[in-house]
Structure 1
């Protein structure tokens, strides 16, 4: 996620504070609705690894969407999840316990822009929608390089644009487009050069297109409301008052146009993953 200051909704990944509960809900709903995408991504990484990972490190783990998916994909692995937020790490630990994965998980509170904790050599390092938050991504990549064993793999994923949910041919779809345009802060990140400068050899760069037609999974209404609510929290002064009022109506729980009642929602986004190896 990097094309818009739709980046803002995930910046709480790296900082404890207000909005953590709402952020955790959003991340968990993202994992639930986009389960098939995550399964496809981890299967692709499985094909790229030179051997089954024994130790996985998740940089900026949040609620552990990637951590848990990778533990399920690689049943012989342990994972270390690093995040600045103790609340999100606690949430991850509870989820892991419920899935029977707690014995294979270590959670470590860490500021990835500061000194890193001591880590056992990693076979796979995962950084999903976290690298662009760092004050010095190049330094973080250099540390990830050091954390990997020779032959180990780094996977960096970014959201090319925040998900769209409302039908584009409708007035509400055009409102959603205006909201995204108002929050746009530039082109998507391309980590290819930074990976090379850190010493990595790029194995592959793959965009994944998500296009879930109506009717999408049951949780999509809640996912759409959580996502658009976080965008709405940054939209004051950027959209006309009439647009903001209509958006508030759509995000309300009760009205006939409320997003939880709509049967025409879709989920449209793309996410790009760079897979790079430490020689």
Structure 2
């Protein structure tokens, strides 16, 4: 998972640069000294934001000690260990006291939470008046395969995504939510919402091929009984390391990845719960 998150940051770097530049524009005139990265994973948000805010420290929060160790290693490699603090915490439980923060970054984390509305209220309480919240959520799983792929009938990737969407509806019911009204209910003023799309065409760079393989391998998990044996056989050949049909060797791959971003601000002079 850590490797896939690192590849996600590398392959989707243009969107990440655009989002963090938008955050910096909205923060123009603010003093940003403390950034809270909730569900930080391997730190792609932390490391993308720090160059925009030269005097800020980032608090990276995740429930996985492995992810946080990986993040600390990356901080050492980048020479920013003095600006990055990691906190292991379950965001579905009572939150640690992070102190007052100026910017909260929540990328692909809200839909994992058991009670995201409570989490939004906690984010509001953690932010100083005038502080910013950036919520980034996935608009489905990236697509890579040609539409005509499949044994006897086209549309293998569409069937994979439909099966995964059904599975996610059972396990992650908040994925795909419209977070704008929920930010407003928590007290935030909505500064904007915007879709971001990243598209790649052949020739595919090598990191994008490895990213496709990892995403499709993750997609393959749990699809037994949800797809036909023929579909599963084709999918297994696609994610194989060495076979001729592997995505590491195909020349007909494209990529379309979509994210939705909401920006909210805690109003000046409004306390938590008001």
TM-score for the superposition, normalised by structure 2: 0.90
Q: Hey, what's the Cα distance between the residues in 1 that align with 2:251 and 2:140? A: 23
Matched, 1:274 2:262: yes
Q: What residue in structure 2 maps to residue 118 of structure 1?
A: 97
Q: Report what 1:264 is aligned to.
A: 252
Q: 1:222 aligns with which of 182, 189, 210?
A: 210
Matched, 1:242 2:221: no
Structure 2 segments unaligned to the other structure (5+ residues): 170-174, 268-274
Q: Name 2:221's counterpart in structure 1.
A: 233
In the alignment, structure 1 residue 37 sits paired with structure 2 residue 2: no
Aligned length: 257
Give the conservation status (yes or no) of the 8 Å contact 1:129–1:158.
yes
- Counterpart of 1:213? 201
Contact conserved, 1:46 with 1:52, CA < 8 A, in 2?
no
Shift of 1:114: 1.1
**CA–CA separation in structure 2 for the residues paired with 1:257 and 1:273:** 35
Please give the alpha-carbon distance, in whole angstroms, between the structure 1 residues aligned to 2:256 and 2:71.
Answer: 26
Within 2, Cα distance between the matches of 1:67 and 1:143? 20
SS at match of 1:82: strand
Q: What residue in structure 1 maps to residue 42 of structure 2?
A: 63
Closer, same or farther in 2 for the Cα pair 1:43/1:176, shift >3 Å? same
Q: Pick closer, same or farther for the CA change 1:197–1:205 going to 2, 3 Å.
A: same
Q: Distance in 1 between matches of 2:235 and 2:40?
A: 31
Measure how far apart 1:64 and its partner are.
0.9
Match of 1:81 in 2: 60
Q: Which residue of 2 aligns with 1:10?
A: none
Query: Per-residue displacement from partner, 1:2-38 (whole Å, max 9, x unpaired)?
Result: xxxxxxxxxxxxxxxxxxxxx1111011001111111
- Structure 1 moving runs of 4+ over 3 Å: 169-173
Q: Distance in 2 between matches of 1:40 and 1:73?
A: 12
Q: TM-score, normalised by structure 1?
A: 0.88
Q: 1:158 to 1:254 in 2, by over 3 A?
A: same
**Structure 1 regions of 5+ residues with no counterpart?**
1-22
TM-fit CA distance, 1:52: 4.7
Q: Is the 8 A contact 1:220 1:265 kept in 2?
A: no
Residue in 2 that maps onto 1:150:
129
Q: Distance in 2 between matches of 1:89 and 1:215?
A: 34
Tell me, yes or no, if structure 1 residue 188 matches structure 2 residue 167.
no
